[in-house]
Amino acid sequence: MATKKKTELDLQLNKDQLKASIVRHLRSTLGTSEQKASPQAWWKATAAAVNEQVYERLTRTQQTHFNKDTRAIHYFSAEFLMGRLTSNNLHNLSLYSVCEEALRELGLELTDLCEQEPDMALGNGGLGRLAACFIDSLATLNYPAVGYGLHYEHGLFRQEIQDGRQIERPDSWREYGNPWEICRPESVQEIPLYGYVETVFGDKGGLKKVWHAGRKIKGVPWDIPVVGFGGHTVNILRLWESRASEFFDWDVFNAGGYVDSQAEKAQAETISKVLYPNDETDAGKELRLIQQYFFCACSIKDIMRRYKRVHGSDFSNFAAQIAIQLNDTHPTVAIPELMRVLVDEEDLNWDAAWTICYQVFSYTNHTLLPEALEKWSVNLFEKVLPRHLEIIYEINARFLGDLVEAKWPGDDVIKAKLSIIEEGEVRKVRMGNLCVIGSAKVNGVAEIHSKLVKEDLFPEFAALWPDKMCNVTNGVTPRRWLLACNPELAALYDEVVGKEWPLQLDKLRGVVKFADDKAFQQQFMTIKRHNKEKLVKVIKAETGIEVDANAIFDIQIKRLHEYKRQQLNLIHIMALYRRLLANPDYDMHPRVFIFGSKAAPGYKLAKDIIYAINKLAERVNNDTRIQGKLKVVFMPNYRVSLAEKMIPAADVSEQISTAGYEASGTGNMKLALNGAITIGTLDGANIEIVEEAGAEHCAIFGLNVDEVKALKARGYNPYDFYYANSELKAVLDWFDTDYFTPGKPGELSSIKRSLLEGGDPYLTLADFAAYSEAHQLVDSWYRDPALWAKKAIINSATMGKFNSDRSIQDYVERIWKLERCKVG
Ligand code: GL7
């Protein structure tokens, strides 16, 4: 105890020390002075001062893990949507208020300095943000873990809105330097690509495969320290940047082809240039396959290097030491890569190598959408990764020949379905099948989703391996998504349930007994009010739109996709507008509908929906006839740091996907945790949110998964709903006029067409009437302030299950079998 205290004291800075450190860094690291320093320089000096603490703990963590030779989880993900790190790191080191005071004495506001930090937007949406929450939880729970991914030079595009339309601009998150990353040239790797495979005689007799690469790429690792809450464990997120390797550079250069060598160099460096902006779809592009292979191969080499440092070439401990989680199918190529390294480079026989592989990997499925299950053409694979294609054929032959044949003798239909290779005009490698075959465990991300993975997506695999499929419901880190983003509510919870809730979110259940308490309700709603007032200012600054904090703030924030049904929200707002125009006394509490959403650049209809929301906003917000009862706001460039401002201010959370399509959702958890009431379908994690909060405290509407399936099976005809509901018909017909786009009729017609001629694949019209009723119910609840406060409090207080620490603990128990490792 005495020694523990000493180490903590050693590390804990006081205000004066931190202040001195910031000023010292301002001068010695940033080369400026208190008089001249820009806010940007002050932010970097602050980060440098914090890093002194971070690095000390990082070193201790690495030494402890090395000395104890611990088993570790390696989280492979093409995306880590980290957002900003300053406030997060300060909170996790318990330095936030110390830093706030130190800066105040220097005449600076910490919250202003935090605004200097660009978001690290190395992800598209939920999948990437989940990876970021998970590495936070792993460090917090003191598990040895490494995140592995790509060091994209440009993260997700910056969205500008011009005349209502989305314009994509490059994101340059590290243009002026990023204080949180450390380059590690000592751990550079070289990665082969292209070329051909030769069969030779091995040293020990027998045949051996040698892959002669056509090109080699250098992988440079950048480490982002991941500070656990409490500051004990600091793990790393290791991101690989591609560079031209000397291997080909010099060859071409010496042959006199300097310009060609420059072209190859540019191509090599293109690999980690930019994040693909497609959410839930696969571009099928060569560069994307190369990106995936590049970061997986670098990471496997890195794991090997570390393993061999201790165990040499004895691989008998490999599976006991190493667990690798594949975040979706994007890193699947790691499976044949590990086989290649073990068989071709380490000379293990196939069976020994496969036994290791099979135990090391597990796979998380994040979506049922067919367009997101990656398939690569065999030709492309053969060109880029010729040896891997051979290995995949071998895995497949053994799987079909042994396991499938034993279970379903002579059944070629099942074989065709389970094969890693899809036959057809263009033969394809099915990465989903490879993942399932090569993994010890396969999990979905919410109860209903995991059930559908088992029953609809991979039923034969589930029959073959009944224990392989499991569920781990997603979660979010309460440090970022309550403690840091909603400081007033966090302080209230500290008072009422004690300060342990950021680690034990279930403790918030202790708040439920105050849900009817008038004084508590008032405190809770005053905080909500303050958060709304702050958002009012942000909205004004970002869009020029004036909104009233007395209105209901109804928020839909997520990627734009037809299955998420922003178009349902849109047509409902149009219906409300019509009701108000038809009857100025139409009885409704004033509402502000707020959207935040990026569309994939090539997703035309999604972009049209953004345009329609903006055109509707222009019309509605400037129409004095409706007396300010309705406002529509589209917040440009939705990103993590904007989410942190919007979520605490939400009254209503829109979670309205077609049942069966949203694997989990995580925004739904963040909004409810901050006291928003969910309007939602019985989809993804909404189902579990309702279970926790109680059905009476959520506004659930629409078709459930079985009803969606049944309606589709019967044959859904959107015209049935169009003709049967005169309001719906009028709203859809409005899209063909120039009411929202003066002088340009038809500019919004694509939306109507998709909902009628297009067959409305996501059943928007089928759910419209129920959705409209749910809104009326929410409106009636809001007019009773005590009732509303109670529901909001209960929602927030019952979200303990959705702590990402709980998700990680589930992964540990069901899949990873890790031990915690206390760092002194
Ligand atoms: C997603 C799911 O759509 C989303 O529902 C889930 O919460 C998230 C994390 O598990 O994963 N799948 C996916 O491909 N993307 C997601 O956000 C991009």
Whether 77 is in the pocket of ligand 1, judged by its Cβ within 6 Å, is: no
DSSP string, 639-660: -HHHHHHHGGG-SEEEE-PPTT
Q: Tell me how far the alpha carbon of residue 393 lies from the centroid of ligand 1, in angstroms.
A: 30
For 316-335, b/e burial (b = at least 16 CB within 10 A) is eebbebbbbbbbbbbbbbbb
Q: Which helix (H) or strand (E) holds 557?
A: strand 552-557
Q: Is the CB of 474 under 6 A from ligand 1?
A: yes
Angle (CA) 119-122-127 rounded to 5° is 115
Looking up tokens 């330097």, which residue turns up? Answer: 177
Instruction: Give the number of other CB atoms < 10 A from CB of residue 214.
Output: 14
Token pair recorded at residue 355: 């036994």
DSSP characters over 279-305: SS-----HHHHHHHHHHHHHHHHHHHH
Between CA 585 and CA 697 the distance in angstroms is 28
Q: By the 8 A CB rule, do 506 and 796 touch?
A: no
Report d(CA 247, CA 237) in Å as an integer. Answer: 28
Residue with CA at minimum distance from ligand 1 atom 9: 127
Helix, coil or strand: residue 191 = strand
Which spans in 735-817 are helix H? 749-755, 764-782, 785-797, 804-811
Rounded Cα distance between 127 and 327, Å, is: 8
Say if ligand 1 is within 6 A of residue 225 CB: no
Report d(CA 442, CA 455) in Å as an integer.
13
**pLDDT tens digits for 374-430?**
999 999 999 999 999 999 999 999 999 999 999 999 999 999 999 999 999 999 999
Q: Which residues, 6 or more positions from 759, have their beta carbon under 8 angstroms from its beta carbon?
A: 716, 718
CATH second-level architecture of 69-84+119-439?
3-Layer(aba) Sandwich (3.40)
Distance CA 754, CA 538 (A): 34
Ligand 1 atom at minimal distance to the Cα of residue 125 = 17
At 765, the amino acid letter reads L
Mutate to test the pocket of ligand 1, among 276, 445, 683 (most ligand atoms within 8 A of CB): 445
Predicted pLDDT at 247: 52
124 C-beta neighbours (distance < 10 Å), count: 22
Give the pLDDT of residue 581: 98
Q: Where in the chain is the domain with CATH 3.40.50.2000?
A: 69-84+119-439, 478-497+545-800
| Predicted local distance difference test score (pLDDT) of residue 269 | 80
Closest Cα partner for 635 from 669, 591, 608, 598?
598
Ligand 1 contact via 807 beta carbon (within 6 Å) = no
Hey, which bits of 12-114 come out as E strands? 72-76, 80-83
Ligand 1 atom nearest to 665, measured from its CA: 7
Please answer whether residues 159 and 598 qualify as being in contact, where contact means their C-beta atoms are separated by less than 8 angstroms: yes
**From its phi and psi, is residue 818 left (phi > 0), alpha (psi between -120 and 50) or beta?**
beta
Eight-state DSSP code of residue 228: P
**Coil, strand or helix at 738:** coil
Q: SS3 of 227, please? A: strand
**Residues composing the chain:** 824
Atom of ligand 1 nearest to the CA of 372: 14
Say if the ipTM goes beyond 0.90: yes
Question: Regarding beta strands 189-193 and 215-227, do their DSSP bridges make them parallel or antiparallel, or are they unpaired?
Answer: antiparallel
Ligand 1 contact, 674 CB (< 6 A): no
**In whole angstroms, how far apart are CA 19 and each of 48, 110, 520?**
12, 12, 37
Cβ–ligand 1 contact at 126 (below 6 Å): yes
> Whole-angstrom Cα distance, residue 701 to residue 678?
10
Instruction: Give kind and range of the element (H or E) at residue 327.
Output: strand 322-327
Retrieve residue 4's tokens.
Answer: 């523990």
How many Å apart are CA 752 and CA 764, to the nearest integer? 11
> Could you tell me the two tokens for 91?
């909170």
What residue's CA is closest to ligand 1, atom 14? 280
* φ and ψ of 818, to 5 deg: -100, 160
Residue 8: its pLDDT value, please?
46
The DSSP bridge partners found for residue 168 are: 159
Going by C-beta distance under 8 Å and a sequence separation of 6 or more, which residues neighbour residue 214? 193, 194, 195, 196
- Burial environment of residue 814 by CB neighbours within 10 A (0 to 12, 13 to 18, 19 or more): middle
Give the model's pLDDT for residue 258.
60
Q: What are phi and psi of 445, to 5 degrees?
A: -115, 5
The CA-based diameter of the chain, rounded to the nearest angstrom, is: 90
What do you get for the CA distance between the two ends of the chain, in Å? Answer: 11
Q: Which residues are catalytic?
A: 366, 558-559, 564, 666, 670
Task: List, for the chain, all residue ranges whose pLDDT scores fall below the cut of 70.
Answer: 1-11, 246-261
Within 13 A of 96's CA, how many CA atoms are on the CB side?
18
Question: Which of 79, 664, 689, 807 best tests ligand 1's pocket when mutated (most atoms within 8 Å of CB)?
Answer: 664
- Gap between the Cα atoms of 52 and 20, Å rounded: 13
Range list of H helices, 399-512: 405-407, 412-418, 431-438, 447-452, 459-464, 478, 487-497
- Using alpha carbons, list the distances in angstroms from residue 111 to 86, 172, 408: 10, 22, 63
Tokens of 345: 């480079």
If we measure between CA atoms, which residue out of 260, 276, 269, 152 comes closest to residue 217?
269
CA distance 444 to 464: 18
Is the CB of 123 within 6 Å of ligand 1? no
Closest CA relative to residue 233, chosen from 143, 319, 156: 143
Task: For residue 467, count CB atoms less than 10 angstroms from its CB and return exposed for 0-12, middle for 13-18, buried for 19 or more.
Answer: exposed
Give the pair of three-digit tokens for residue 440.
């010890």
DSSP string covering 586-638, please? Answer: -----EEEEEE----TT-HHHHHHHHHHHHHHHHHHT-GGGTTSEEEEEESS-
Instruction: Report whether residue 666 contacts ligand 1, using a CB cutoff of 6 Å.
Output: yes
664 lines ligand 1 (CB under 6 A): yes
CATH number of 478-497+545-800: 3.40.50.2000
CA of 328 to the centre of ligand 1 (A): 9
Strand, coil or helix: what is 161? strand
Listed residue (304, 227, 98) closest to 823, CA to CA:
227
Ligand 1 atom at shortest distance from the alpha carbon of 474: 10
619 vs 632: CA distance, rounded Å: 9
Which distant-in-sequence residues (6+ apart) come within 8 Å of 491 by Cβ? none
